[in-house]
Amino acid sequence: MKRYLLLVVFSTFHFISGFAQNYKMHTVFIFSFTRYIQWPDTYNSGDFEIMVLGDSPIVDELKAMAAVKKVGERNIKVIRINSVSEIRKCNILFVPATKSADIADVMGKVTTQSILVITEEPGLGAKGSNVNFITKDGKLAFELNQNAASRQGLKISNELSRLAILI
């Protein structure tokens, strides 16, 4: 049943035409990722924290989602930070295109912490982000860097891997 639901959600959104900047779509994907990625036990207590580096319209979309959804029994907390130096333990870090130039510093700060780093600029998946949103044939898609995720102690389900563009 889980597998079917995942396929329906991702298939539906993968084939809907749209621009990469449709942050409602990004948010739906991000919430779906929480079901198919496993964090180490030390990241599974308290609020489920999503940090956003810099200004991005996704903050409002994530906050709207957090108001009505939970990750398991955990509340979702969305935190906007201004600089790489503010990165701390969280579950997801979203790096918008406007902060793409900081990816080396971001990955240096995250190192082996179990933080799912999500970006949205072509080429950033190969530079170490775990998930990278791209537009493919006019549709929102995502790349998955399994090696980076594994180094960070994140376990990616096979179902999610099958739906991704693997790097």
Mean pLDDT of 26-39: 97
pLDDT digits (tens, 9 = 90+) for 42-66: 999 999 999 999 999 999 999 999 9
Mean pLDDT of 72-81: 98
pTM assigned to the model: 0.87
Give the C-alpha separation, 128 to 117, whole Å.
Answer: 8
Mean pLDDT of 129-139: 94
Mean pLDDT of 95-120: 96
Mean pLDDT of 78-102: 97
Q: What pLDDT score was predicted for residue 2?
A: 53
Report DSSP state, residue 81.
Answer: E
Give the C-alpha separation, 13 to 140, whole Å.
Answer: 8
Give the C-alpha separation, 34 to 162, whole Å.
Answer: 16
Residue 76 phi/psi, 5-degree rounding, is: -100, 130
| pLDDT of 158 strictly over 60 | yes
Q: What pLDDT score was predicted for residue 98?
A: 96
Q: What pLDDT score was predicted for residue 22?
A: 76
